[in-house]
Structure formats: C-alpha cells, structure tokens
Amino acid sequence: MNKASLSKLIAVSALAISVVACTPKPKVDTATPTGPVQTQPTGPAYPTSPTGPVDGSGMGAAVPGSEQDFVINVGDRIYFGLDSYEVNAEAGMRLAAQAAWLQRYPQITIRIEGNADERGTREYNLALGARRAESVRNYLISRGIPANRIDTISFGKERPIAEGSNESAWAQNRNARTAIASGAR
C-alpha cells in the first residue's frame, strides 16, 4: 500500500469515527412503562397505565402545577393500537385526567407529540404521528381546554422510547405524549 492510499484510508476512517461519535443517542424517557402489555388477539396491543393515577388525585410528592406533578400524578402519555389514531377507553380516562389538571392550571400550555413504531416508511409514520397528536388535541378541546393552549408535532418513528424490534417495543412507541410547553411551576 502506497503512502497516498494509506493517507486516504486514515482520513476516511477518522471521518467515519467522528460521525459515529457525534450521532446523538435516542433519549430514554424514565417515565416509560415497564408493565405488562396486552396481547389478546381481540384488541390492540398497547402498554397499560404508563404513569400515575388517571384520576389526577395528586398522590405524588411533586409541587402542584409542576411538570413533575403532571407526569407523576396524571400521566403524560397514551398509547394506540397498530395503525390507529383512535383514542380508546383507557386513553380517554387519562386524557380526561389531563384535561381536569389543565383546567386547574390555565396558564399552562402544552405540546402533543405524536409517535409511531419503527414499521412503515418515514412519511407514513410522520403522518400517523400527526393524526395521533391531533386526536389527543381534539379530545382535550372537547373537554374544555382552549385550542390556543395546545400545539402538536409529529416525530413519527424518529423518537422511540423503547428499543427493539418486537411487539412490546412497538406497543410502547405507538403513543402520544403531552409535554408541558410553558407556564408550569
């Protein structure tokens, strides 16, 4: 191998190493559910009870009106069935608790983040994530939360909360997260 070829090989290797080193790792959400996943063939598979009581009873030790209060005592995430953006009964209970909490704290604005599992194209999953976020937004508006307090965004399959290529991971990644945008204590 001549000196020019060796120099090119070293330069390409250094570039590849720097690209890999600079690639951000997926953010792991510590509020991710680890409980059982429904796998009955009669209904969609999705995690159950991801965080906090759905009644918004304030049972945790968080400061009332804080982002932590919202995540712990109400729950910030709902789950969807495969290729679905329909709010099911369990998700409806969590969203009702979110609406009640948001009514107590009218200064808070939120962002609904729609997510999808890794299957399907990037474009399909971005569109599905957007429909999921809009479903949550529409539900909260129907519960009396003003539309100007709610933004939506779709991350498609770009921000998984569970790694893996299996039903358990996919079920966790089919979600909509309600994030506090501003106004929390």
pLDDT one digit per residue (tens) for the chain, 185 residues: 566 555 555 555 554 444 444 444 444 343 433 333 333 333 444 565 444 455 545 455 799 999 999 999 999 999 999 999 999 999 999 999 999 999 999 999 999 999 999 999 999 999 999 999 999 999 999 999 999 999 999 999 999 999 999 999 999 999 999 999 999 99
Q: What is the pTM of this model?
A: 0.70
Residue whose structure tokens are 């304030």: 58
Q: What is the pLDDT, as a whole number, of residue 117?
A: 97
Q: What is the pLDDT of residue 61?
A: 77
CATH superfamily of the 27-182 domain: OmpA-like domain (3.30.1330.60)
Find how far residue 159's CA is from the centre of its chain.
8
Q: State how far the alpha carbon of 77 is from the alpha carbons of 13, 17, 114, 172, in Å.
A: 42, 36, 10, 10
Q: What is the pLDDT of residue 7?
A: 57
Give the model's pLDDT for residue 37.
35
Residues 6+ apart with CB under 8 A from 84: 44, 174
Give the per-residue pLDDT at 160. Answer: 96
Structure-block tokens of residue 109: 């604005």
How high is the pLDDT of residue 10?
Answer: 59
